Structure formats: C-alpha cells, structure tokens
Amino acid sequence: MFIKKIAVLFSGSGSNLEAILSKIHGKIFNGVKLEVVVTICNKPDAYGIKRAKNYGLETIIIENKNFATREEFDSALVSQIKKHSVDLVVLAGFMRILTPVFTSQIRAINLHPSLLPLFKGACAINDSFNSDMQVGGVSVHWVSEKLDGGKIIAQRAFSREKDMSLEAWEAKIHAIEHEILPETIVEILCK
C-alpha cells in the first residue's frame, strides 16, 4: 500500500484542518493511505492547534513576526516542510502571502472562499457578499507566486438566497470548504 504524506498550514480556528483530519487522515482511497504528518501554524494561540492535538498531532509554531522579511519566514517554513518528505502541502486558512522562496520549492494547494479569479485576498467573503453576484463559492487552486492566482483545481458555487445575511453566506462558504478541500486532496493524491 502506498502512503501519501500531507502537511497542513493554518492560522486560525482550524475548521478546515479538522475537516481534513476527520474525513481523510489515516484513511485509504484507491489503495493509497493518506496521512497528515505535520501541521504548521504562524499564530501560537490559534484554536486549530487544539484540533490537531485531538488527532495526536503536535503543531509546529513558526511566528512570522519573528522574521525580518517574508523570505526569511518562508525559508523557515520550507525547511520544516522538507524535514517531513510530504507529497502535498495544504494551505487551510493560512493567512500569509508566500514568496517565490516557498512557491518555487513546495507543491501546495490553497483553499479560497470565492469563485476565483474574482475576489482575491483576505476579504473575499465580505467582498463577494457585498457584490451584485448572485452566486458565491469556493475555489481550490495551486499555490503560485501570484496571490490567489495559481491554476484552479476545483470550484463549487451556491446561489444567493433572497435576503441572505452575511452570516448565512459565510456559513454556506465554510460548509462547502469542508467538503471540497478533502475531496480535492483525494483527487490529487489518490488518482
């Protein structure tokens, strides 16, 4: 049996990390066992650290504020990731813009809460909600040196409901994220 190793990077609550751990970690798909072997976070107080611990994973904390440049931070990330010989890095709510120091060396996918190429950046949920778009959605894409600009791997959309609140919009996005990200990882690693 083949084992494919995954690194997950996150910055916050870790709900997408939890979706990955509960749906695919330690499970077999098409004869391939998927294992999250390392979790890395840039915020020492992120709730996702507790979620990882619930699955027996100790999170490596690399605080970006301790580095003079983005490149130095990315170099530290790359160094840690390479120690684990992973097959895929998953950015699951990792709120950092990565430089070519990272993107040229690491095979990574990112989850983004809009239908790219629309609404790039950190305010995608609010920007898409406040637009005239009658659909919202989620994208998974390859990480490149362009912010939210790598090749799109998967997308899923939903229709705006009449009088939909921002909270309902955001909840719908998160529900889709928790489905599409694990599915995409399986698609990439277990074809």
Q: What are the distances in angstroms from CA 5 to CA 42, 56, 72, 179?
A: 21, 15, 25, 20
* 133 annotated to bind ligand: no
* 16 annotated to bind ligand: yes
* 189 annotated to bind ligand: no
Q: Is 112 a catalytic residue?
A: yes
* 156 annotated to bind ligand: no
Find out whether 112 and 139 touch, Cβ atoms under 8 Å: yes
Length of the chain: 191
Q: Helices then strands (H, E): number in the chain?
A: 6, 8
Catalytic choice (25, 84, 112, 178): 112
* 164 annotated to bind ligand: no
* 66 annotated to bind ligand: no
Find out whether 103 and 70 touch, Cβ atoms under 8 Å: no
Binding-site positions for (6R)-10-formyltetrahydrofolate read: 70, 95-98, 110
Catalytic residues: 112
Binding-site positions read: 14-16, 70, 95-98, 110
